[in-house]
Amino acid sequence: MAKELLKATDVSEVFGGLKAVSDFNFHIDKGELVGLIGPNGAGKTTAFNLITGVYQPTTGEIHFDGKSIVGLKPYQITQRGIARTFQNIRLFSELTVLENVKIAFHFHVKYGLLESVFRMGRYFSEEEKIEEEALKLLKIFHLEDKADELAKNLPYGAQRRLEIARALAAKPKLLLLDEPAAGMNPQETKELMEMISWIRKEFGLTILLIEHDMSLVMGICERIYVLEYGMIIAQGTPDVIKNDPEVIRAYLGGEA
Ligand SMILES: Nc1ncnc2c1ncn2[C@@H]1O[C@H](COP(=O)(O)OP(=O)(O)OP(=O)(O)O)[C@@H](O)[C@H]1O
C-alpha cells in the first residue's frame, strides 16, 4: 500500500462565528490523484489555504511527509514540497511567459550574491539550466511558442496552463490545483485532463484538485472527497460518489 503523504486530523477553521472547515479528516497517499468537490462556500479553498499555510487551523493537525506543517509560513511549506495554483489566476501579468516560470525556479537555485553581481561561474551555468528547464515545462503545456509574450496577453485557458507550469517549477511532491479547468471550453478541458495525468506520471506527483467540472473530476480522480458546510459528507471512488444519495442531494441538487 502506498505511503501517506498528507494527513489532516480533526482540522477546524473558524472565521468569526462561522466554521468554514469542521473536523476535517483526510489523507492522500503518495502518487494518488484525489478530487475535492462540494457546493459553493463548502470550504474547499479554505482547506487549500490551511494546507499551504495561508491560514492556520483553529484546531487540529496537518502532517506532510510525516512531519507537522502547522505554524509554517507559505514559503516554508513550498520548500517542503507543496505547490498550488489559485482559483483566481495569479501570474506576473507584466512579465513574459518564460519569466513567470523562471522566477519560480529561482527559489531553488544556489548561487551566492557575489556570483550573481559579477555574473560569473556557477551563475551562468545555473541560469542556462533554469532557462532550459523552464522551456521544457512550457513545451509540456503547449506554451513554448508563447515564451516571449506577456502573460497578460495569453488567452484564459493558456494562463491556467502557465500557472500549473509555474507551480511545477517549484519541484513539488504534492500539487494542489484550485479549479484548473475554470473558464475552459470542453476541448481545452480534455487536453488539460491529459496533461494532468501525464505530469503526474512524468514527475511522480501526488495531486489534489478542486474542480466543478464533473467530467474532469470523475474522469481522472481515483478518489474523491465531498465537502458540504465545511464537513466531509462522502468519500470514495468516482463510482461510489456518483451513487451516494448524500452527494446527490447536496451537490447535484437532488438529481440522480
Ligand atoms: N478569510 C475569510 N474570512 C471569513 N470568512 C471566510 C474567509 N474565507 C472563507 N470564508 C468563508 O468560509 C466559507 C467557505 O469558503 P471557501 O471559499 O473555502 O469555499 P469553497 O468551497 O472554496 O467555495 P467556492 O466553490 O465558491 O470557491 C464561506 O462561507 C466563506 O464565505
| Residue 36 belongs to domain with CATH number | 3.40.50.300
CA of 20 to the centre of ligand 1 (A): 6
Cβ(84)–Cβ(177) below 8 Å: yes
Closest-lying ligand 1 atom to the alpha carbon of residue 212: 25
CA of 230 to the centre of ligand 1 (A): 9
Which of 71, 69, 51, 55 lies closest to 15 in space, CA to CA?
A: 55
Closest-lying ligand 1 atom to the alpha carbon of residue 38: 21
Closest-lying ligand 1 atom to the alpha carbon of residue 15: 4
Which distant-in-sequence residues (6+ apart) come within 8 Å of 39 by Cβ?
Answer: 228, 250, 251
Q: Is 101 part of a structural domain of the chain?
A: no
Q: Is 113 part of a structural domain of the chain?
A: no
Which of 181, 187, 186, 193 lies closest to 156 in space, CA to CA?
A: 181
- Domain carrying residue 43: 4-81+172-252
CA–CA separation, 154 and 137 (whole Å)? 16
Tally the domains of the chain: 1
Q: Is 93 part of a structural domain of the chain?
A: no
pLDDT at 215: 84
User: Nearest residue CA, atom 16 of ligand 1?
Assistant: 43
pLDDT at 105: 82
pLDDT at 136: 94
Q: Is 149 part of a structural domain of the chain?
A: no
Name the burial class of residue 46, with classes exposed (0-12), middle (13-18) and buried (19+) by CB atoms within 10 angstroms of its CB: buried
Q: Is 245 part of a structural domain of the chain?
A: yes
pLDDT at 118: 55
Closest-lying ligand 1 atom to the alpha carbon of residue 46: 18
ipTM of the complex: 0.94
Q: Is 156 part of a structural domain of the chain?
A: no
pLDDT at 248: 86
Classify 206 as helix, strand or coil: strand
CA of 46 to the centre of ligand 1 (A): 6
Q: Is 143 part of a structural domain of the chain?
A: no
Q: Is the CB of 20 under 6 A from ligand 1?
A: yes
Q: Is 70 part of a structural domain of the chain?
A: yes
pLDDT in tens, the chain (256 residues): 448 999 999 999 999 988 899 999 999 999 999 999 998 899 999 999 999 999 999 999 999 999 999 999 998 999 999 999 988 778 888 999 999 999 888 765 444 555 555 555 555 677 888 899 999 999 999 999 999 999 999 998 899 999 999 999 989 999 999 999 988 889 989 999 999 999 999 999 999 999 988 888 999 999 999 999 999 999 999 999 999 998 888 866 654 4
Q: Is the CB of 187 under 6 A from ligand 1?
A: no
Q: Residues of 195-216 as b/e, b for ≥16 C-beta within 10 angstroms? A: bbeebbeebebbbbbbbebeeb
